[in-house]
Amino acid sequence: MMNFPKTTEFNRRIPKQKFYSNLSVSPQIRKIFVEQISAVNWANKLAPATLNVKNGEKVTEIEVFHLVLNQKNLDERVLQLIDKEVPYHILFELEYEGQIQVWIGYKEESQTKAEIFKVNRYYHTDWLTKDKIHFEIDGLNMDALYEGFIKQIAGDNLTINVNESVGTAILRTEEKEKLDKKISALEKKLYREKQFNRQVQLNAELKALRNKLEELDNG
Protein backbone atom coordinates (compact mmCIF):
# COMPACT_ATOMS: atom_id res chain seq x y z
CA MET A 1 0.00 0.00 0.00
CA MET A 2 1.04 3.61 -0.46
CA ASN A 3 2.97 5.05 2.46
CA PHE A 4 1.02 8.22 3.21
CA PRO A 5 1.01 9.83 6.69
CA LYS A 6 -1.58 8.62 9.20
CA THR A 7 -3.06 12.12 9.28
CA THR A 8 -4.33 11.52 5.73
CA GLU A 9 -6.13 8.24 6.46
CA PHE A 10 -9.86 8.31 5.71
CA ASN A 11 -10.81 4.63 5.27
CA ARG A 12 -14.42 4.82 4.10
CA ARG A 13 -16.05 2.17 1.94
CA ILE A 14 -18.12 3.59 -0.92
CA PRO A 15 -21.02 1.54 -2.31
CA LYS A 16 -20.30 0.76 -5.97
CA GLN A 17 -23.77 1.80 -7.10
CA LYS A 18 -22.98 5.34 -5.93
CA PHE A 19 -21.00 5.75 -9.16
CA TYR A 20 -23.26 4.08 -11.69
CA SER A 21 -26.77 4.84 -10.37
CA ASN A 22 -26.80 8.06 -12.41
CA LEU A 23 -29.23 7.73 -15.33
CA SER A 24 -26.61 9.10 -17.74
CA VAL A 25 -24.39 6.03 -17.18
CA SER A 26 -24.87 3.56 -20.02
CA PRO A 27 -25.90 -0.07 -19.27
CA GLN A 28 -22.59 -1.21 -20.81
CA ILE A 29 -20.45 0.87 -18.41
CA ARG A 30 -22.66 -0.18 -15.48
CA LYS A 31 -22.10 -3.84 -16.42
CA ILE A 32 -18.33 -3.35 -16.74
CA PHE A 33 -18.20 -1.60 -13.35
CA VAL A 34 -20.09 -4.42 -11.61
CA GLU A 35 -18.06 -7.18 -13.27
CA GLN A 36 -14.59 -5.68 -12.85
CA ILE A 37 -14.79 -3.92 -9.45
CA SER A 38 -15.19 -5.85 -6.22
CA ALA A 39 -14.98 -2.93 -3.77
CA VAL A 40 -14.18 0.79 -3.62
CA ASN A 41 -12.49 2.25 -0.54
CA TRP A 42 -11.75 5.92 0.02
CA ALA A 43 -8.37 5.34 1.64
CA ASN A 44 -6.77 8.76 2.07
CA LYS A 45 -7.50 12.46 1.78
CA LEU A 46 -4.44 14.53 0.82
CA ALA A 47 -5.11 18.18 1.58
CA PRO A 48 -3.61 21.19 3.40
CA ALA A 49 -5.59 20.11 6.49
CA THR A 50 -4.00 16.64 6.50
CA LEU A 51 -0.54 17.50 5.16
CA ASN A 52 1.88 20.33 5.85
CA VAL A 53 1.38 21.96 2.43
CA LYS A 54 -0.34 25.03 1.05
CA ASN A 55 -3.44 25.03 -1.11
CA GLY A 56 -2.95 25.03 -4.86
CA GLU A 57 -4.42 27.25 -7.54
CA LYS A 58 -5.80 24.25 -9.46
CA VAL A 59 -5.67 21.43 -6.91
CA THR A 60 -7.31 21.66 -3.49
CA GLU A 61 -7.48 17.96 -2.54
CA ILE A 62 -6.21 14.65 -3.85
CA GLU A 63 -8.36 11.66 -2.92
CA VAL A 64 -6.81 8.19 -2.80
CA PHE A 65 -9.25 5.50 -3.91
CA HIS A 66 -8.37 1.85 -3.34
CA LEU A 67 -10.13 -0.40 -5.87
CA VAL A 68 -10.24 -4.16 -5.30
CA LEU A 69 -10.56 -5.83 -8.70
CA ASN A 70 -12.25 -9.02 -9.84
CA GLN A 71 -9.81 -9.31 -12.73
CA LYS A 72 -6.37 -7.97 -13.56
CA ASN A 73 -7.29 -5.77 -16.52
CA LEU A 74 -9.49 -2.78 -15.76
CA ASP A 75 -11.43 -0.89 -18.39
CA GLU A 76 -10.22 2.72 -18.26
CA ARG A 77 -13.81 3.92 -18.62
CA VAL A 78 -14.42 2.81 -15.03
CA LEU A 79 -11.82 5.30 -13.80
CA GLN A 80 -13.29 7.96 -16.07
CA LEU A 81 -16.70 7.37 -14.50
CA ILE A 82 -15.34 7.77 -10.96
CA ASP A 83 -13.34 10.85 -11.95
CA LYS A 84 -16.47 12.36 -13.47
CA GLU A 85 -18.50 11.81 -10.29
CA VAL A 86 -15.86 13.14 -7.85
CA PRO A 87 -15.04 16.88 -8.10
CA TYR A 88 -11.49 16.44 -6.81
CA HIS A 89 -8.26 15.00 -8.17
CA ILE A 90 -7.89 11.26 -7.60
CA LEU A 91 -5.02 8.82 -7.16
CA PHE A 92 -6.22 5.27 -7.88
CA GLU A 93 -4.68 2.26 -6.14
CA LEU A 94 -5.78 -0.95 -7.88
CA GLU A 95 -5.39 -4.28 -6.09
CA TYR A 96 -5.61 -7.76 -7.58
CA GLU A 97 -4.36 -10.98 -5.97
CA GLY A 98 -1.88 -9.24 -3.69
CA GLN A 99 -0.41 -6.93 -6.32
CA ILE A 100 -0.87 -3.18 -6.70
CA GLN A 101 -1.02 -0.90 -9.72
CA VAL A 102 -1.32 2.88 -9.28
CA TRP A 103 -3.17 5.08 -11.79
CA ILE A 104 -3.57 8.83 -12.08
CA GLY A 105 -5.29 10.97 -14.69
CA TYR A 106 -4.33 14.48 -15.68
CA LYS A 107 -7.53 16.11 -14.49
CA GLU A 108 -8.31 19.76 -15.09
CA GLU A 109 -11.28 22.09 -15.10
CA SER A 110 -13.46 21.71 -18.17
CA GLN A 111 -14.19 24.66 -20.45
CA THR A 112 -17.73 23.38 -21.08
CA LYS A 113 -20.81 23.66 -18.88
CA ALA A 114 -21.61 19.97 -19.37
CA GLU A 115 -18.91 18.84 -16.95
CA ILE A 116 -16.80 20.29 -14.13
CA PHE A 117 -13.60 18.37 -14.88
CA LYS A 118 -12.10 16.55 -17.83
CA VAL A 119 -9.34 13.93 -17.81
CA ASN A 120 -6.99 14.15 -20.77
CA ARG A 121 -5.19 10.85 -20.21
CA TYR A 122 -4.18 8.30 -17.58
CA TYR A 123 -0.77 7.06 -16.53
CA HIS A 124 -0.05 3.97 -14.45
CA THR A 125 2.72 1.95 -12.86
CA ASP A 126 3.46 -1.70 -13.54
CA TRP A 127 1.84 -4.30 -11.30
CA LEU A 128 4.00 -4.44 -8.16
CA THR A 129 3.99 -6.15 -4.78
CA LYS A 130 2.72 -3.99 -1.92
CA ASP A 131 6.19 -3.44 -0.45
CA LYS A 132 7.42 -1.92 -3.73
CA ILE A 133 4.84 0.88 -3.83
CA HIS A 134 6.39 4.11 -2.55
CA PHE A 135 5.72 7.70 -3.55
CA GLU A 136 7.45 10.87 -2.49
CA ILE A 137 5.24 13.65 -1.14
CA ASP A 138 7.19 16.39 -2.86
CA GLY A 139 6.04 19.99 -3.13
CA LEU A 140 5.12 23.02 -1.05
CA ASN A 141 1.54 23.20 -2.36
CA MET A 142 -1.16 20.89 -3.72
CA ASP A 143 -0.45 21.77 -7.36
CA ALA A 144 3.19 20.72 -7.01
CA LEU A 145 2.19 17.60 -5.09
CA TYR A 146 -0.20 16.55 -7.87
CA GLU A 147 2.33 17.18 -10.63
CA GLY A 148 4.89 15.23 -8.60
CA PHE A 149 2.61 12.18 -8.49
CA ILE A 150 2.07 12.34 -12.24
CA LYS A 151 5.82 12.49 -12.86
CA GLN A 152 6.50 9.54 -10.55
CA ILE A 153 3.72 7.39 -12.00
CA ALA A 154 4.24 8.30 -15.68
CA GLY A 155 8.01 7.83 -15.54
CA ASP A 156 9.52 7.47 -19.02
CA ASN A 157 6.06 7.65 -20.61
CA LEU A 158 6.07 11.42 -20.18
CA THR A 159 8.95 13.63 -21.31
CA ILE A 160 9.00 17.01 -19.59
CA ASN A 161 11.32 19.68 -20.95
CA VAL A 162 13.16 22.21 -18.78
CA ASN A 163 10.80 24.84 -17.34
CA GLU A 164 7.79 22.98 -18.78
CA SER A 165 4.70 22.21 -16.72
CA VAL A 166 3.15 18.74 -16.64
CA GLY A 167 0.04 20.05 -18.39
CA THR A 168 2.06 21.57 -21.23
CA ALA A 169 4.12 18.37 -21.57
CA ILE A 170 0.96 16.26 -21.84
CA LEU A 171 -0.56 18.56 -24.48
CA ARG A 172 2.72 18.43 -26.43
CA THR A 173 2.73 14.62 -26.17
CA GLU A 174 -0.84 14.44 -27.49
CA GLU A 175 0.04 16.74 -30.39
CA LYS A 176 3.06 14.55 -31.22
CA GLU A 177 0.87 11.44 -31.26
CA LYS A 178 -1.56 13.13 -33.66
CA LEU A 179 1.31 14.14 -35.93
CA ASP A 180 2.76 10.61 -35.84
CA LYS A 181 -0.58 9.24 -37.03
CA LYS A 182 -0.82 11.83 -39.82
CA ILE A 183 2.75 11.08 -40.93
CA SER A 184 2.13 7.34 -40.93
CA ALA A 185 -1.06 7.73 -42.99
CA LEU A 186 0.68 10.08 -45.42
CA GLU A 187 3.63 7.70 -45.85
CA LYS A 188 1.24 4.89 -46.79
CA LYS A 189 -0.54 7.20 -49.20
CA LEU A 190 2.78 8.21 -50.80
CA TYR A 191 3.80 4.57 -51.18
CA ARG A 192 0.62 3.84 -53.15
CA GLU A 193 0.73 7.00 -55.26
CA LYS A 194 1.82 6.51 -58.91
CA GLN A 195 1.58 10.07 -60.27
CA PHE A 196 4.85 12.01 -60.03
CA ASN A 197 3.27 15.43 -59.43
CA ARG A 198 1.15 14.03 -56.65
CA GLN A 199 4.23 12.33 -55.12
CA VAL A 200 6.01 15.70 -55.04
CA GLN A 201 3.02 17.27 -53.28
CA LEU A 202 2.79 14.47 -50.70
CA ASN A 203 6.53 14.65 -50.04
CA ALA A 204 6.21 18.37 -49.35
CA GLU A 205 3.35 17.72 -46.92
CA LEU A 206 5.41 15.00 -45.20
CA LYS A 207 8.39 17.32 -44.82
CA ALA A 208 6.21 19.99 -43.21
CA LEU A 209 4.74 17.50 -40.74
CA ARG A 210 8.17 16.07 -39.86
CA ASN A 211 9.53 19.58 -39.28
CA LYS A 212 6.61 20.30 -36.96
CA LEU A 213 7.24 17.04 -35.11
CA GLU A 214 10.92 17.95 -34.69
CA GLU A 215 9.93 21.33 -33.26
CA LEU A 216 7.74 19.59 -30.69
CA ASP A 217 10.56 17.19 -29.81
CA ASN A 218 12.87 20.13 -29.20
CA GLY A 219 10.28 21.88 -27.06
Using one digit for the tens of pLDDT, what is the confidence trace for 162-201?
A: 888 898 898 898 899 899 999 999 999 998 999 989 999 9
Measured CA to CA, the distance from residue 85 to residue 64 in angstroms comes to 14
On average, the pLDDT of the chain sits at 90
Q: Decide the pairing of beta strands 89-96 and 62-69.
A: parallel
Is the pLDDT at 148 greater than 80? The verdict is yes
Binning the chain into helix, strand and coil, the percentages to the nearest 5 are: 45, 25, 30
Cβ partners under 8 Å of residue 165, min gap 6: 147
Measured CA to CA, the distance from residue 137 to residue 197 in angstroms comes to 58
The per-residue pLDDT for range 7-25, each reduced to its tens digit, is: 999 999 999 888 888 768 8
Q: Is the pTM of this model over 0.75?
A: yes
